């Protein structure tokens, strides 16, 4: 792909600004109607999806050059996909989120990535993930759990914890909870201790070659180990495996842990019996929700019908967020005795991003924290005492924002509460 | 592509702008500026079909009336033009002349909903408060507001103070030109003028007295479209909502649905002839039934509309599925059944009221030989219609076929007068789309409000013409259609329509003056020149506030005053 592949998208953008808002039918208040953190924080139209399309067009037309401002425009964006959902309310011929990725990749190719990206991508390239830890450190989370080593044993599923869950000491309990829940339900869980980062972060930063290299390496390892199903509690890894890996190769079933837990509850293999008397509100991670739709292979061309109407031959898959993973986490929460689930105004495909996405947590921490703070205010407005999510980076961003804002809200992964409801997690999540 | 005309502000002026709004809220980066130059319809008026309007010299984002005032005063000092926009849509919201160094005011930092006065039924808003936000808050109080036909993504201040604000609910609630109350106006010279009751310190409740009664100067019928100062706040009338105070929106993206309350009815109605269409409009007006009244779904074209909307309501389908749907026998039948159709939502104050309205509507249908389109009145489509027309959150579907759309016709008048231009508009689109450079969706892609004035009486139909802005030949075909539509109208005794207004944006001053001199009432534009001389002596506003030059009119209309 290249910038020029999005020339028609740019010319067909009508500057309607839908990309700045949540789907209008879902607007419930003045306060929580906005959908794009980037334009909200930075103001100029260029910081919206429509504005970025024009920025690309302006570069293609040689009307402007790559300046520090253009770099800022391209990378101060969570790639959360709200723009994609909102644009596609009315359009079948636009791919704004793909265009935003393309702009980043173009700037990386031109050597104009943000300076802060340098050390991060180096760690990805070294195979130690965005966090730069050693394999030994990466696998400390699994000690004593009794998971199988797929190098020597067979298991139902490969459990992939993800860098953040496995390395952040404050989140290790969650990843351990995930495994304990699965084991309690009789799922045979295996791990591959030597595998590193999923390299999804490289893709989102615009380093496509690094992503491809990492994905191939991972898929080869999985093939060697005979992996058929991967389960991960990390929404970022989930989206990487489900949507991005198939562009490289695959044939692997990918499940978020909550999808599997939902199934286990539905078929009676997992019983949630202990009350968890909390009022919780669930934050839909972008990579599990609107970007969690399955990949559909497509290779085709644009053609016109009825004179000028644009369609694709063969029909192009439509990723608009309608088929994201929204209900499985909610089903699980509803199955927990005495737990009360209340919704934030912006939920499911309209969820406001936690702020961490698009490598913003790494490159632009203040902006990332601001976006998280916005979400904390929305969660607080529900009257919930606990904000739950299903993504490690969301949880980290929220935890820090709550501390900074002195908000009276606890943050947990859904799996923490599930473990508690099984009776194995103690009384306090 | 030829490079843009670039205006570089004197450093002192730029630093002064930074001092006013903060350095982070002003930009002259070429890429940032181009995102403001790029506008819908630019390609139909600009040389070589460029998608860019003239590039502003800088974009400035003020956060308060005082900051707007300071920027406008600075423009007066430095000989700059000021072009404000709120949500910023239409080619005329950008600078319109290459030679004018223009400050683009992006008002998105001024988006507050300042208050809703429940007992007096009005809301006070800033320019970037959009209709969806205001409606969501009004509903909680049992109130509603007129959302302009352009949709709920639009600014209330823009439609009320500076452009046209009719829509599906105007029939019941009034258009925003009528609904505007007090306004806060930063004049082109940089004075702050508070209009109507606001100007006398009596609050927002009245647009014309006690206090300065300048609504006619500020906005007239079509508004000054950013050419005569900056509107920084206004109050807008609200109406009773007659529905739930919270909406339990269902359905699946993109076709959300709003359940129909017991005291509501949602219908797609059809009639056998255009004469019956005019007749049923009159009868609806005369019987004073209806809450939302609009011809909406036909925007997709009478030949394709049923197939398109049924596709849209199935999230697994895309435009690629439309041809197969069109060929299905039951869809073909439906297409004919609803060829001349429109939508109406009835809302009752009580069960008895809604039942009475229902009976009246049935009687009207019987009198004109009309019918309810059953498929579109079934629960799924009724709820979709309810959502669509109550919120107007899908109006961008105007562009669904290929990303370019031109509204032609839309002349406003009594239904039987509108009926007179319908066959001309249909024949015109069929002719112009024949070569395949425009979307061929049937000659009738006409949409419009049931009434553009409160209580009924006058309507208009806009022909939706779709072209591909990424295809030069298709774009040129769109332009030819606009020019043809002007000729079609004038040769049949109708005034030119919406396309004429669009096309003028690309004309020279002389061409515009010629058109104004040949208009039915050129004296209006002489009067407006005097207003401009009084309020904008330094010519800070652009020509979106149209005037005739004094010398021109003096020779033809006496002394020109």
A346-372 tens-digit pLDDT: 999 999 999 999 999 999 999 999 999
Q: Which of A180-184, A376-380, B557-561 has the highest mean pLDDT?
A: A376-380
**Bridge partners for B231 per DSSP:** B185
Compute the average pLDDT of residues A137-146: 86
Interchain CB contact of A21 with B (< 8 Å)? yes
Interchain CB contact of A308 with B (< 8 Å)? yes
pLDDT over 80 (residue A134) = no
Residue A241 CB-half CA count within 13 A? 29
Which of chain A's residues have a Cβ under 8 Å away from the Cβ of B397?
A: 89-90
Which of chain B's residues have a Cβ under 8 Å away from the Cβ of A4?
A: none
Interchain proximity A58–B30, CB inside 8 Å: yes
pLDDT over 50 (residue B561) = no
Helix or strand holding residue A400 (H, E): helix A392-405
What gap in Å lies between CA A399 and CA A390, rounded to an integer?
Answer: 13
Torsion of CA B242, B243, B246, B247, to 10 degrees: -140
pLDDT over 50 (residue A8) = yes
Question: Which ranges in B41-182 belong to alpha helices (H)?
Answer: 42-45, 65-78, 131-139, 156-157, 170-173, 176-179
Which pLDDT does position B106 carry in this prediction?
98
pLDDT over 60 (residue B131) = yes
Binning pLDDT at 50, 70 and 90, where does residue B560 land? Answer: very low
Interchain proximity A306–B440, CB inside 8 Å: yes
Are B421 and B494 in contact by the 8 Å Cβ rule? The answer is yes
Contacts of B92 (CB under 8 A, 6+ apart): B225, B226, B505, B544
Which pLDDT does position B536 carry in this prediction?
97
Best A10, A49, A308, A321 member to test B by mutation, with max B CBs in 10 Å, is A308
**Nearest Cα residue to A20 out of A8, A42, A38:** A38
Compute the average pLDDT of residues A403-418: 93
The DSSP line for B357-377 is HHHHHHHHHHHHT-EE-HHHH
Compute the average pLDDT of residues A229-243: 97
Which pLDDT does position B219 carry in this prediction?
85
Are B517 and B552 in contact by the 8 Å Cβ rule? The answer is yes
Which of chain A's residues have a Cβ under 8 Å away from the Cβ of B252?
A: 322
Are A209 and A180 in contact by the 8 Å Cβ rule? The answer is no
For B80-95, b where at least 16 C-beta lie within 10 A, e where not — what string?
Answer: bbbbbbbbbbbbbbbb
What gap in Å lies between CA A206 and CA A109, rounded to an integer?
Answer: 8
Strands B102-106 and B58-60: parallel
Q: How far apart are the first and last CA of chain B?
A: 45
Which pLDDT does position B220 carry in this prediction?
81
Which pLDDT does position A426 carry in this prediction?
53
**Bridge partners for B267 per DSSP:** B344
Binning pLDDT at 50, 70 and 90, where does residue A424 land? Answer: confident
Which of chain A's residues have a Cβ under 8 Å away from the Cβ of B125?
A: none
Interchain proximity B35–A316, CB inside 8 Å: no
Residue A377 C-alpha, separation from nearest chain B C-alpha, in angstroms: 18
Which of chain A's residues have a Cβ under 8 Å away from the Cβ of B106?
A: 43-45
pLDDT over 50 (residue B555) = no
pLDDT over 90 (residue B435) = yes
Range in A141-150, A303-312, B415-424, B427-436 with the lowest mean pLDDT: A141-150
Interchain proximity B153–A92, CB inside 8 Å: no
The DSSP line for B431-465 is HHHTTSSS--S-S--EEEES-SSTTSS-EEEEEEE
pLDDT over 60 (residue A76) = yes
Residue with the bigger pLDDT between A415 and A166: it is A415
For the record, the structure tokens of A151 come out as 């190098």
Which of chain A's residues have a Cβ under 8 Å away from the Cβ of B24?
A: 43
For A391-407, b where at least 16 C-beta lie within 10 A, e where not — what string?
Answer: bbbbbbbbbbbbeeeeb
What gap in Å lies between CA A204 and CA A214, rounded to an integer?
Answer: 13
Which pLDDT does position A130 carry in this prediction?
58
Residue A245 C-alpha, separation from nearest chain B C-alpha, in angstroms: 23
Which pLDDT does position B255 carry in this prediction?
97
B74-127 pLDDT, tens digit per residue, is: 999 999 999 999 999 999 999 999 999 999 999 999 999 999 999 999 999 999
Compute the average pLDDT of residues A60-82: 97
Best A25, A27, A320 member to test B by mutation, with max B CBs in 10 Å, is A25
Are B427 and B409 in contact by the 8 Å Cβ rule? The answer is no
pLDDT over 50 (residue B559) = no
Residue B266 C-alpha, separation from nearest chain A C-alpha, in angstroms: 17
Interchain proximity A310–B403, CB inside 8 Å: yes
pLDDT over 70 (residue A128) = no
Which pLDDT does position A175 carry in this prediction?
92
Nearest CA in chain A to B128: A30
Nearest residue, CB atoms, A54 vs list B38, B256, B470: B38
Binning pLDDT at 50, 70 and 90, where does residue A131 land? Answer: low
Q: How far are the Cα atoms of A102, B121, B169, B239, B453 from residue B173, in angstroms, in the given order?
A: 46, 12, 6, 6, 9
Contacts of A129 (CB under 8 A, 6+ apart): A123, A138, A163, A167, A196, A197
Which pLDDT does position A354 carry in this prediction?
98
pTM of the model: 0.96
Interchain proximity B470–A8, CB inside 8 Å: yes
Q: How far are the Cα atoms of A34, A407, B279, B328 from residue B36, in angstroms, in the given order?
A: 20, 38, 45, 44
pLDDT over 90 (residue A405) = no
Are B505 and B92 in contact by the 8 Å Cβ rule? The answer is yes
Which of chain A's residues have a Cβ under 8 Å away from the Cβ of B439?
A: 306-309
Which of chain A's residues have a Cβ under 8 Å away from the Cβ of B395?
A: 90
Which of chain A's residues have a Cβ under 8 Å away from the Cβ of B254?
A: 23, 88-90, 320, 322
What gap in Å lies between CA B175 and CA B237, rounded to an integer?
Answer: 10
Which pLDDT does position B419 carry in this prediction?
98
**Bridge partners for B294 per DSSP:** B343, B449
Which pLDDT does position B62 carry in this prediction?
98
Compute the average pLDDT of residues A268-290: 97
B381-429 pLDDT, tens digit per residue, is: 999 999 999 999 998 999 999 999 999 999 999 999 999 999 999 999 9
Interchain proximity B396–A16, CB inside 8 Å: yes
What gap in Å lies between CA A319 and CA A313, rounded to an integer?
Answer: 17
Residue A100 C-alpha, separation from nearest chain B C-alpha, in angstroms: 15
Which of chain A's residues have a Cβ under 8 Å away from the Cβ of B471?
A: 308
pLDDT over 60 (residue A288) = yes
Interchain CB contact of A324 with B (< 8 Å)? no
Compute the average pLDDT of residues A143-156: 93
pLDDT over 50 (residue B376) = yes
Q: Please write down the HEC assignment for all residues of B194-243.
A: ECHHHHHCCCCCCCCCCCCCCHHHHCCCCCCCCCCCEEEEEEEECEECCC
Which pLDDT does position B557 carry in this prediction?
45
Number of residue pairs across A and B with CB atoms under 8 Å? 238
What gap in Å lies between CA B409 and CA B421, rounded to an integer?
Answer: 8
Are A289 and A357 in contact by the 8 Å Cβ rule? The answer is no
**Nearest Cα residue to B540 out of B107, B69, B45:** B69
Best A5, A14, A19, A289 member to test B by mutation, with max B CBs in 10 Å, is A14
Which pLDDT does position B520 carry in this prediction?
87
Binning pLDDT at 50, 70 and 90, where does residue A25 land? Answer: very high
Contacts of B344 (CB under 8 A, 6+ apart): B266, B267, B269, B284, B290, B292, B293, B294, B361, B450
pLDDT over 50 (residue B558) = no
Compute the average pLDDT of residues B160-183: 94
The per-residue pLDDT of chain B, averaged, comes to 95
Interchain proximity A322–B253, CB inside 8 Å: yes
Which of chain B's residues have a Cβ under 8 Å away from the Cβ of A85?
A: 253
Binning pLDDT at 50, 70 and 90, where does residue A429 land? Answer: very low
Which pLDDT does position A335 carry in this prediction?
98
Compute the average pLDDT of residues A210-224: 95
Compute the average pLDDT of residues B46-51: 96
Which pLDDT does position B550 carry in this prediction?
81
Q: How far apart are the first and last CA of chain A?
A: 46
Residue A49 C-alpha, separation from nearest chain B C-alpha, in angstroms: 11
For the record, the structure tokens of A411 come out as 């943050």
For the record, the structure tokens of A48 come out as 């919206």
Interchain CB contact of A51 with B (< 8 Å)? yes
pLDDT over 60 (residue B1) = no
What gap in Å lies between CA A239 and CA A289, rounded to an integer?
Answer: 9
Interchain proximity A43–B404, CB inside 8 Å: no
Q: CA A289: distance to chain centroid?
A: 8
- Which contacts of A213-222 are long-range, i.e. CB under 8 A and separated by 24 or more positions? A214/A124, A215/A240, A215/A244, A215/A245, A215/A248, A215/A249, A216/A248, A216/A249, A217/A127, A218/A245, A219/A245, A219/A248, A219/A249, A219/A250, A219/A252, A221/A192, A221/A194, A221/A195, A222/A158, A222/A192, A222/A252
Which pLDDT does position B554 carry in this prediction?
45
Nearest residue, CB atoms, A58 vs list B34, B89, B133: B34
Which pLDDT does position A364 carry in this prediction?
95
User: CA angle, corner B115, sides to B110 and B120, nearest 5?
Assistant: 140
Compute the average pLDDT of residues A98-109: 98
Binning pLDDT at 50, 70 and 90, where does residue A196 land? Answer: confident
Contacts of B372 (CB under 8 A, 6+ apart): B267, B268, B269, B270, B365
Which pLDDT does position A427 carry in this prediction?
45
Interchain proximity A307–B440, CB inside 8 Å: yes
Over the Cα atoms of chain B, what is R_g?
A: 24
Which pLDDT does position A2 carry in this prediction?
93
Residue B1 C-alpha, separation from nearest chain A C-alpha, in angstroms: 6
Interchain proximity A322–B254, CB inside 8 Å: yes
Range in A115-119, B26-30, B351-355, B369-373 with the lowest mean pLDDT: A115-119
């Amino acid at each position: 792909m290249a910038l020029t592949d999005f020339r028609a998208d740019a010319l067909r953008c009508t500057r309607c600004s839908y990309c700045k808002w949540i789907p209008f039918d879902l607007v419930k208040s003045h306060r929580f109607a906005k959908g794009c953190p980037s334009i909200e924080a930075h103001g100029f139209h260029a910081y919206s999806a429509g504005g970025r399309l024009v920025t690309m067009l302006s570069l293609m037309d040689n009307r402007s050059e790559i300046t520090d401002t253009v770099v800022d425009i391209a990378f101060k964006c969570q790639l959360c996909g709200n723009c994609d959902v909102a644009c596609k309310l009315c359009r079948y011929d636009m791919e704004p989120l793909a265009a935003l990725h393309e702009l980043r990749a173009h700037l990386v190719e031109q050597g104009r990535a943000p300076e802060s990206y340098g050390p991060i991508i180096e760690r990805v390239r070294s195979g130690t993930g965005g966090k730069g830890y050693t394999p030994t450190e990466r696998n400390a989370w699994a000690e004593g759990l009794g998971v199988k080593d797929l190098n020597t044993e067979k298991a139902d599923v490969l459990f992939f914890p993800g860098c953040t869950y496995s390395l952040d000491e404050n989140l290790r309990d969650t990843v351990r909870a995930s495994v304990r829940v699965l084991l309690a339900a009789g799922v045979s869980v295996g791990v591959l201790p030597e595998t590193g980062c999923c390299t999804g972060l490289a893709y989102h930063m615009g380093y496509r070659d690094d992503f491809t290299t990492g994905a191939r390496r991972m898929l080869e390892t999985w093939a060697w180990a005979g992996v058929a199903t991967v389960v991960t509690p990390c929404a970022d890894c989930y989206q990487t495996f489900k949507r991005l890996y198939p562009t490289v190769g695959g044939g692997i079933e990918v499940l978020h842990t909550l999808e599997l837990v939902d199934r286990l509850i539905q078929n009676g293999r997992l019983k949630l019996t202990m009350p968890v008397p909390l009022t919780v509100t669930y934050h839909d991670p972008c990579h599990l929700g609107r970007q969690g739709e399955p990949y559909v292979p497509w290779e085709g061309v644009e053609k016109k019908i009825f004179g000028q109407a644009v369609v694709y031959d063969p029909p192009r898959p439509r990723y608009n967020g309608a088929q994201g993973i929204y209900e499985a986490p909610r089903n699980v929460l509803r199955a927990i005795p005495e737990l009360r689930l209340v919704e934030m105004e912006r939920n499911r495909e309209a969820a406001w991003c936690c702020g961490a996405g698009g490598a913003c947590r790494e490159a632009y921490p203040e902006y990332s924290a601001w976006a998280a703070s916005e979400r904390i205010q929305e969660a607080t407005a529900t009257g919930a005492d606990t904000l739950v999510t299903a993504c490690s980076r969301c949880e980290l961003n929220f935890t820090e924002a709550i501390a900074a804002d002195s908000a009276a809200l606890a943050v947990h992964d859904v799996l923490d509460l599930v473990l508690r409801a099984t009776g194995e997690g103690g009384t306090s999540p | 592509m030829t490079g843009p005309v670039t205006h570089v502000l004197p450093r002192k002026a730029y630093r002064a702008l930074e001092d006013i709004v903060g350095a982070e809220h002003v930009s002259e980066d070429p890429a940032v500026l181009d995102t403001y130059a790029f506008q819908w319809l630019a390609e139909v008026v600009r040389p070589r079909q460029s998608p860019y309007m003239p590039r502003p010299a800088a974009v400035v984002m003020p956060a308060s009336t005082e900051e707007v005032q300071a920027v406008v005063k600075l423009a007066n000092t430095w000989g700059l033009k000021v072009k404000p926009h709120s949500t910023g849509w239409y080619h005329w919201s950008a600078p319109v002349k290459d030679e004018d160094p223009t400050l683009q005011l992006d008002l998105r930092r001024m988006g507050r909903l300042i208050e809703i006065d429940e007992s007096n039924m009005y809301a006070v808003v800033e320019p970037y408060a959009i209709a969806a936000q205001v409606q969501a808050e009004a509903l909680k109080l049992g109130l509603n507001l007129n959302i302009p036909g352009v949709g709920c993504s639009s600014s209330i201040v823009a439609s009320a103070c500076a452009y046209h604000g009719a829509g599906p609910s105007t029939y019941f609630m009034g258009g925003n030109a009528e609904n505007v109350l007090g306004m806060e106006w930063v004049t082109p010279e940089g004075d702050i003028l508070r209009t109507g009751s606001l100007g006398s310190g009596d609050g927002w409740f009245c647009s014309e007295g006690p206090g300065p009664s300048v609504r006619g100067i500020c906005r007239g019928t079509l508004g000054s479209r950013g050419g005569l100062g900056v509107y920084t706040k206004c109050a807008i009338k609200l109406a009773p909502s007659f529905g739930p105070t919270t909406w339990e929106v269902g359905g699946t993206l993109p076709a959300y649905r709003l359940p129909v309350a017991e005291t509501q009815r949602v219908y797609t109605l059809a009639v056998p002839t255009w004469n019956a269409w005019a007749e049923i409009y009159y009868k609806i007006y005369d019987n004073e039934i209806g809450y939302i009244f609009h011809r909406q779904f036909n925007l997709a074209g009478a030949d394709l509309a049923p197939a398109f909307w049924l596709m849209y309501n199935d999230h697994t389908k895309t435009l690629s599925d439309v041809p197969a749907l069109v060929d299905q026998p039951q869809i073909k039948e439906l297409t004919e059944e609803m060829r001349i159709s429109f939508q109406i939502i009835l809302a009752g104050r009580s069960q008895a009221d809604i039942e009475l309205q229902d009976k009246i509507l049935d009687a009207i249908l019987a009198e004109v030989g009309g019918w309810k389109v059953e498929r579109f009145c079934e629960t799924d489509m009724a709820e979709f219609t309810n959502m669509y027309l109550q919120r107007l959150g899908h109006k961008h579907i105007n562009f669904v076929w290929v990303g370019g759309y031109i509204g032609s016709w839309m002349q406003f008048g009594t239904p039987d007068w509108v009926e007179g231009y319908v066959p001309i508009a249909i024949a015109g689109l069929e002719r112009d789309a024949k070569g395949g450079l425009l979307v061929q969706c049937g000659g009738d892609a006409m949409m419009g409000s049931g009434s553009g004035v409160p209580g009924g009486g006058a309507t208009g139909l806009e022909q939706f013409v779709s072209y591909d802005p990424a295809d030069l030949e298709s774009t040129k075909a769109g332009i030819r259609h606009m020019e043809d539509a002007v000729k079609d109208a004038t040769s049949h005794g109708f005034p030119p329509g919406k396309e004429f207004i669009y096309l003028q944006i690309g004309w020279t001053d002389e061409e515009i003056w010629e058109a104004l001199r040949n208009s039915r009432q050129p004296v209006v534009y002489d009067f407006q020149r005097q207003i401009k001389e009084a309020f904008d002596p330094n010519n800070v506003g652009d020509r979106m506030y149209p005037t005739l030059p004094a010398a021109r009119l003096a020779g033809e209309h006496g002394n020109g005053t």
